[in-house]
Structure 1
Amino acid sequence: MKDTFGAAAAAGFPLPSGGRTQNRPNGPIGTAHIIELREGLRSLYQLDDAYGGGDVRSLARKHLKRIERIINSARYPETIGRQLQLLAGETAEHCGWLFYDADDQGEARRYWGQALTTATVLGDDNLAIMVLASLSMQACYAGRPRDGLNLARAAQERALRYGSLMLQSLLASREARALSLMGDETAAKQRLTESMRLAERGERGRPSPEWAAFHGHAELNYAQGLYYTDVGHHHSAVQFLRAALAHQDRSYGRNRALYRLTLSRSLIRAGEVDEGAAQAVESLDHLDEVESGRVTRRLTEVTSLLREVDAVSARDAAGRLTEYADLSGAA
């Protein structure tokens, strides 16, 4: 917590559970309070992008408790009340994401369930789409691609009404991921092609919601790389994973670490062991800045692959990755 607050302050982010409003008179809650609470949530998004969900989740949980306290104890007009409830739902969704990234899937589902209830009560399509998209991703991660496909399609139905082509592109890529894990290569490829077509047209029409800002060239290349990984075409996967890493904005520190380790995995599986080992070792320079259970899992997977390869570079890299995991408690 202390390190995370320090990182937030150093980066110039407003601290989501700070005391700036606690010293104010206990008057009615108004627009200024909503703006401050929303800025707190925005700072949590930025911290997560940079450092991963491990440390940030405790801050997010405190921010959610703060909003819930205000909802249940403060005075405000009905219009402000709706905004507070929506903020609580969005913060619960982000708590779910942070616990997902930290690989605590039970807590992730609990928070996403809370957020989906809020979306249903408020009739808010944007929040519902965000939660369904997250649940789809989690289902695929947990080995339930059929559930992932159904959840992505439920989100896509709402997105068609929302009108954002970039959002539809994101959800088409989630559908493609589920289909590839189900072994339906043709349908998965079709949805990926549609996802790319929608992204190319994405500047027209309604803009995507703020939470979907990460979806772009890097994310599409990464989705293509995962598709080729799922269907066993590792040389093709390498091409797209290289592009994903090259296009990924440096503010997304967690994603860059995950992309590099995923590239390393595909290189090793494609028989390009020396480069795969080099990419894995290079990732160590960034892992000290990231606290993510998903990244840790990928690190363990790459280490296991390297141990299976009879090459000096692989043995050396596996030794360095194992040493890092032992020192950091990552494995």
Structure 2
Amino acid sequence: MKRRAFMKDTVGVAAAAGMPASADRGAPVGPNGGIGTAHVIELREGLRSLYQLDDAYGGGDVRSLARKHLKRVERIINTANYPETIGRQLQLLAGETAEHCGWLYYDADDQGRARRYWGEALTTATVLGDDNLAIMVLASLSMQASYEGRPRQGLDLARAAQERAVRYGSPGLQSLLASREARALYLMKDTSGAKKRLANSMRLVERDDRGRPSPDWAKFHGHAELDYAQGLYYTEAGHHHSAVQFLRAALDHQDRTYGRNRALYRLTLARSLVQAGEADEAAAQAVDSLEHLEEVESGRVIRRLKEVAGHLRGVDAACARNAADQLTEYVELSGAA
């Protein structure tokens, strides 16, 4: 089954999960009627479904549904009856949904809209005094800053998140944030500082079972992410053969439920293989990725695909040029050009 046909059916299921019919009908929860815990649970299940779809298929087909989910939560906040305790839960859910909208636009490479939604989420975290949401947004903003070439700001945001994470008491979460710090330091050419933070990130992830568990949003972080981070470090340093080793490990360790990440890892491996002079394998990895891209829609992945095509086109080998042509044709046919 093609990705779009599958998504059409699956998004419908997720939409149903996020649309508590009883809430829309104003079903009574008590003598005055209104919204109760069951409705919040249904709305949260809708957000969880959106996370799962994004992990597997990228955010392309999920963005519009996530926006609708956020509008639904906001409508309930502004029009329904509920006690103060339920109101706080709804506000928190709105902040988490706004954060996810920000992530989906980041993945689509629409950085302006991503910032807008993350700004909304950070405002909610501040008003509620919720450290978990604040850490999540600060971590996302740090990632975006580094991605956009603002590593100093990326470092400051990661450290602000880390200050809160120490109080949270989760080694896995601290490991994720240390890796964000390391990425920013790499881009600032602070090689020594970057190596120290990445080594610390690796030590922390090994101790993940000794402290408070990572929050759900951070559970993707683990050995695959750290192998990928190490691969990027060697890429930035120009040590492409070393980068290949870590990027292979990242692809091997990545859970298959994270379809978008696997596509990104494979293309990043292809890029490093070209840079390491392994044109034949680079071409093979790049072409193999096209089959998986039928299941994924992500602006960041398409950007990496174009980058790999450009590298392959610069190689004086028939296999590389043929692969570059196939990648370019895919981009044109997909409408992502």
With normalisation by structure 2, the TM-score equals 0.95
Q: Does 1:35 align with 2:41?
A: yes
* Residue number in structure 2 paired with 1:120: 126
Match of 1:193 among 184, 195, 199: 199
Counterpart contact for 1:5–1:15, Cα < 8 Å: no
* Residue number in structure 2 paired with 1:253: 259
3-state SS in 2 of match to 1:15: helix
* Residue number in structure 1 paired with 2:168: 162
How far off its partner does 1:274 sit? 0.6
Note the alpha carbon deviations across 1:288-321, whole angstroms, 9 max, x for none: 1111000000000000001111001101101111
Structure 2 residues not aligned, in runs of 5+: none
Counterpart contact for 1:102–1:293, Cα < 8 Å: yes
* Residue number in structure 2 paired with 1:230: 236
How far off its partner does 1:123 sit? 0.3
3-state SS in 2 of match to 1:55: coil
Amino acid at match of 2:325: G
* Residue number in structure 1 paired with 2:183: 177
Structure 1 residues not aligned, in runs of 5+: none
Question: How do 1:1-331 and structure 2 match up within 5 A?
Answer: 4-8=7-11, 13=14, 15-18=16-19, 20-21=21-22, 22-23=24-25, 25=27, 27-331=33-337
Aligned residues: 329
Q: Root-mean-square deviation (CA), in Å?
A: 1.4
CA distance in 1, matches of 2:21, 2:75: 16
CA distance in 2, matches of 1:25, 1:135: 39
Counterpart contact for 1:234–1:270, Cα < 8 Å: yes
CA distance in 1, matches of 2:127, 2:25: 32
CA gap 1:296/1:56 in 2 versus in 1, 3 angstroms: same
3-state SS in 1 of match to 2:16: coil
- Larger CA deviation: 50-59 vs 116-125: 50-59
How far off its partner does 1:15 sit? 3.4
Counterpart contact for 1:28–1:74, Cα < 8 Å: yes
CA distance in 2, matches of 1:277, 1:5: 32
3-state SS in 1 of match to 2:145: helix
CA distance in 1, matches of 2:213, 2:328: 44
How far off its partner does 1:114 sit? 0.2
Counterpart contact for 1:16–1:44, Cα < 8 Å: no
CA distance in 1, matches of 2:305, 2:190: 28
Amino acid at match of 2:16: L
With normalisation by structure 1, the TM-score equals 0.96
Query: Between the two proteins, what is the percent identity of the paired residues?
Result: 76
How far off its partner does 1:330 sit? 2.0
CA gap 1:17/1:38 in 2 versus in 1, 3 angstroms: closer
3-state SS in 1 of match to 2:21: coil
CA distance in 2, matches of 1:301, 1:275: 16
CA distance in 2, matches of 1:117, 1:18: 25
